[in-house]
A and B are shown apart, each in its own frame.
Chain A
């Protein structure tokens, strides 16, 4: 099928368009944060104690926090942190998963046994608990949070890739390639990987949303990003103490997370629909 047709299918579904637009908007906001945020200095943490806990107004659309910082600016800068976490966690997990999954699936036997049992050990832990454990061992901070999440995330990709590799490796063109003397690593890269990539794209897209959510959870529990970095999870954590009297403090960062996660899920669904013809809704 041609590219234009894919794009047509993508745009036929309104929800897909909404998801894609939100993500593009987020990326735009993250890139141009210094130009979009009305108070970039406050977003980076500079206190402004004269204007503590102001309700939303024209000057501060989302209100201000307990240090008088403009929440709107901080939410805008938070998009940077969140997207960075989302993309890096999924990329790291994906690279590890691809590498181990391809080896396990393609070679099978002892490699498969070893890799999959290690994977099982990781999968035995509830994911957030494992991330918490690793984050608390490594120490606080953005990089450690990313690492902790990636380490708790790769087993899913390993399993997914392994399954795909097993189903692809018995296809005749793989056998034909082998019969032509193509080396194993080349078969993996040229034949197995490209033919098993579609479910991965869907999974990875949705996981970016989930990773952002879990990173927020880590921050909320004090193990992720540290103040004064602008981060949505952290803002909710700080704002929860003021929730009853100053509702806007935790609500706007919360909304940001909510919208972001939904957008990535919508996009994931949309991509799945484009890739897998059986899931296409014909009338919408």
Chain B
């Protein structure tokens, strides 16, 4: 499979009133064509910032360096005009909160037609027909009724389906799903995940799936990247990651997933997430790591391929310049 998106050495700093927040600390990742890549991590570890960077939607106080290669072209060097043609057409995003992602004042029809005509050279009637098709594809049985509704007349699950339909309206090659199920009921969550999987099979786009829910990752993703405090600490195929986690943080994460079959006590990670204004030196995880040594305090570990397709950034697994 070819690489669709390649992020190389991406650093992002936010200038804030309290100092410079080092939000992304040189991340590297690749999303292949037709795969679902999961990005997991705690709140504030940089998952959503990564998504915003790909679409170049960062606030103006962000400083960016590195490369975001999409189909071989660096998105960070594109003009605003060129980016506008990529957003929604080549790369689409669906957001966490479907309740507020639609403009409350317009009917679904107007909003969908707007988006469809934006990137496709279609008349209003053709766009409406397209909208109906899309709504049917995302499993809304009465598209005409949905088109005539205002957002508040639809349930959360229906709205998220509408958002997905809008995101797919121009056949994007990459769909970024930024915690698309977090705000939904568990049963609806399951339906939406299934839908994304089916649509991916039909249309063949790639998905960058951002979540903090390891259960969702296990169910959906082909490969997973684990983020901690602005770093990618481990990337592996999903099964491999769950069976053979290498990084102490990943191991910690997996050990706190409750298993209803056994009544065992969960072993939480000690300490808490560091402030990005003043992150720990060396490996950002070292203050919470049981295995941390002197090297971890001094030097940032690089992401290395420990076994085929399994990458880890940890001094335990060597591969450092020393």
Instruction: Give A residues with C-beta under 8 Å from B.
Output: 108-109, 171-173, 175-183, 190-191, 194-195
Segment with Cβ contacts to A, from B97-105, B187-195, B245-253 = B97-105
CB of B105 within 8 A of CB of A176, answer: no
Nearest Cβ on chain B to A122's Cβ, whole angstroms? 27
A-B pairs, top 10 by smallest CB distance, nearest first, are A180-B88, A181-B87, A181-B88, A172-B100, A176-B101, A179-B93, A173-B103, A181-B84, A172-B101, A194-B105
Chain B positions within 8 Å of A175 at CB level: 57, 95
Are A173 and B118 also in contact (CB < 8 A) when A179-B88, A181-B87 are?
A: no
18 contacts between A and B (CB under 8 A): A108-B60, A172-B95, A172-B97, A173-B103, A173-B104, A175-B57, A175-B95, A176-B95, A178-B57, A179-B87, A179-B92, A179-B93, A181-B83, A181-B89, A182-B88, A182-B118, A190-B103, A191-B103
Cβ B166 vs Cβ A180 within 8 A: yes
Query: B124: CB under 8 A from chain A?
Result: no
Are B86 and A181 in contact, CB atoms less than 8 angstroms apart?
yes
Contacting residues of chain B (96-146) with chain A, CB-CB under 8 angstroms: 97, 100-106, 114-115, 118-119
CB-based nearest A residue for B80: A184
Is there an interface contact between A180 and B115, defined as CB atoms closer than 8 Å? yes
B129 to chain A, nearest CB (A): 20
Check A109–B105 contact: CB distance below 8 A: no
Q: Shortest CB–CB separation between residue B171 and chain A, in angstroms?
A: 14
Complexed CA–CA distance, A173 and B95 (Å): 10
Residue of A nearest to B89 (CB): A181
- Give the chain A neighbours of B167 by CB distance below 8 A: 180
In whole Å, how far is B98's beta carbon from the nearest beta carbon of chain A? 9
Complex Cα–Cα for A167 and B87 (A)? 24
Q: Which of B101, B118, B163 contacts A181 (CB 8 A)?
A: B118
Decide if A190 touches B114 in the complex (CB within 8 Å).
Answer: yes
Which residues of A have CB within 8 Å of B55? 179
- Asked if residues B118 and A176 are in contact (CB atoms below 8 Å), the reply is no
For the complex, what is the distance from the CA of A176 to the CA of B166, rounded to whole Å? 10
Given known contacts A180-B115, A195-B105, what 9 new A-B pairs fall within 8 Å (CB)?
A108-B60, A173-B100, A176-B95, A176-B101, A180-B118, A181-B89, A181-B118, A182-B118, A190-B103
Q: Which residues of B contact A194 (CB under 8 A)?
A: 103, 105-106
* Complex interface: chain A residues within 8 A of B105 (CB): 194-195
Chain B nearest CB: distance from A10 CB in Å? Answer: 20
B87:A180 contact, CB within 8 angstroms:
yes
Q: Are A178 and B102 in contact (CB under 8 A)?
A: no
Inter-chain contacts of B102 with A (CB < 8 A): 173, 176
Q: Closest Cβ of chain B: how far from A169's Cβ, in Å?
A: 11
Q: B85 an interface residue at 8 Å Cβ cutoff?
A: yes
Q: Smallest CB-CB separation from B90: which chain A residue? A: A181
Once bound together, how far apart are the Cα atoms of A172 and B180, in whole Å?
A: 13
What CA separation (Å) do A179 and B48 show in the bound complex? 13
A177 surroundings in chain B (CB, below 8 A): 103
- Nearest B residue to A197 by beta-carbon distance? B105
With A175-B57, A191-B103, A195-B105 as given contacts, are A180 and B92 in contact (CB-CB < 8 Å)? yes
Q: A179-B55, A181-B89 are in contact. Are A195 and B95 (CB under 8 A)?
A: no
CA distance A108 to B83 in the complex (A): 21
CA distance A175 to B103 in the complex (A): 11
For residue B57, which residues in chain A have a CB less than 8 angstroms away from its CB?
Answer: 175, 178-179
CB-nearest residue of chain A relative to B93?
A179
Q: Is the CB of A183 within 8 A of B87?
A: no
Asked if A181 contacts B119 (CB within 8 A), the reply is: yes
Measured between beta carbons, the chain A residues less than 8 angstroms from B106 are 190, 194
CB pair A173 B87 closer than 8 Å: no
Closest residue of chain A to B98 (Cβ to Cβ) is: A172
Q: Is the CB of B60 within 8 A of A173?
A: no
Min Cβ gap A172→B in Å is 4
Q: Chain B residues near A173 (CB, 8 Å)?
A: 100-104
Point out the residue from A108, A171, A176, A181 that lies within 8 Å of B85, measured CB to CB.
A181
Task: List, in ascending order, chain B residues with CB within 8 A of A178's CB.
Answer: 57, 87
